[in-house]
Amino acid sequence: MNKQRFLQLAFGCAALAVVANHVDADSAVFFNPYNTAQIVDQSLIRHPTLASDSQEPVGVQLVLALDSSESMEPKEFEISLRATADALNSEQVRNAIKYKSGENSVALAVISFDVFAMLRVPWVDIRGDEINDKPFDTENLEKSSFSRDKLDRLADEIRALPRISSGGTSIDQALALGFSQFQKCAWPAIERKVLNVFGDGNSDTGKIQIQKKKLEQIGVTINGLAIVNEDPDLDQFYQTYLVTSGDTDKSGDGIYSQRGRVWVAAQNMPLDNGTDVELTAYYGSVVEAITKNISTEVAGTGFEYRNYAMNKKIFSLRF
């Protein structure tokens, strides 16, 4: 270990010792001793270029929380970003926004978490009348009959997010920052508030329960997408401790916290050494899970879940 890396780690540990137990709605932030140029302004309420000036409400407020801890292999984190972007920009999610019954709009923010959580993409409002039925076709530019829209640009931004990681997994930090973001959203939700947690590890159950209760009280539904790898029982952990039960009363704005769902993708191979076929199959399963999850929450409809077989391993999307 070189001297610079040693000093970085020492500085990080000192900061952790000071703030490790300080987790409230407005201080669930991050410590990053490496590259501050990669960090978005954490005080932003609206995305500086993609968000509109509209004061109109949205149907759904959706926060995506992506695990960036050291347990996520570099290839695994890259796939999580690409799968999230492709799912958001899919025809299925676009149709869920454009043609759903009720309010044809969604507000979305993206956070990442390891020992701490940070805002990565500030709130963007996406309204049905400003997006196309299909994503822009970059491979057939001459045949495209429309230009790139807000969802195309948002997907590009998510794919390009740099990984920022300073240690282990603290799901409670993701929940706490999620709470703060829901409180700050510029567009009130009419139908649902949803927090989706994408990760491959567990963390302190007591802290998770504290933060989950706060989210339930403001009407947030929590879902989990568990990447089952080192922890074979992660889906059960998510089901028991993370996702919401749906037993709470309406929040002050009339929205219920509903029963959360757990989607499961089994990794079953070291991605850094995986073949192209293995990586493509794993990526496809994650895209399918996220696409169905987001379109379900946006449109408010159920879906049939499927099993994926690859190399005698089962990828499952299940409640």
State the total domains in the chain: 1
- Model confidence over 222-247: pLDDT tens digits? 999 988 877 888 999 999 999 999 87
Measured over the CA atoms of residue 284, residue 289, residue 292 and residue 298, the dihedral's sign is negative
pLDDT confidence band for 275 (50 / 70 / 90): low
d(CA 284, CA 306): 13
Alpha helix (H) residue ranges in the chain: 3-19, 74-88, 91-98, 150-159, 171-184, 205-217, 234-237, 276-299
What is the length of the chain?
A: 319
pLDDT at residue 227 in the model: 85
Phi, psi of 50 (to 5 degrees): -95, -25
Asked if 31 contacts 166 with a C-beta cutoff of 8 angstroms, the reply is: yes
User: Could you tell me the two tokens for 237?
Assistant: 């952990």
Which residues sit opposite 117 in a β-bridge?
Answer: 113
Max CA-CA distance within the chain?
Answer: 59
Burial 282-295 (b: 16+ CB within 10 A, else e): bbbbbbbbbbbbbb
Better pLDDT: 142 or 294: 294
Q: What is the pLDDT of residue 174?
A: 96
What values do phi and psi take at 191, rounded to 5? -110, -55
* Spatial distance between the Cα atoms of 231 and 278, rounded to a whole number of angstroms: 20
Written as one letter, the residue type at 76 is: E
- Per-residue pLDDT at 144: 57
Residue 40: pLDDT band with limits 50, 70, 90: confident
pLDDT in tens, 59-110: 999 999 999 998 888 888 888 899 999 999 999 999 999 988 778 999 999 9
Chain mean pLDDT for the chain: 79
Least confident of 4-8, 51-55, 61-65, 270-274: 4-8
| Each residue's pLDDT tens digit, 166-205 | 778 999 999 999 999 999 999 999 999 999 999 988 999 9
**Amino acid code (one letter) for 191:** E
pLDDT, position 33:
39
What does the block give as tokens for 274?
């995986």
Average pLDDT over residues 265-275: 59
Give the DSSP H or E segment for 194: strand 189-199
pLDDT tens per residue, range 104-163: 999 999 999 999 999 999 999 999 999 999 998 876 655 556 788 999 999 999 999 998
Backbone angles phi, psi at 13, to 5 degrees: -65, -40
What is the per-residue pLDDT for 121? 96
Query: Could you tell me which residue, 34 or 125, shows the higher pLDDT?
Result: 125
Q: Which domain holds residue 251?
A: 3-316
Residue 62 confidence (pLDDT): 97
DSSP percent split of the chain into helix, strand, coil, nearest 5: 40, 20, 40
Q: What is the DSSP letter of 249?
A: P
CA–chain centroid gap for 168, Å, is 17
CATH number at residue 164: 3.40.50.410
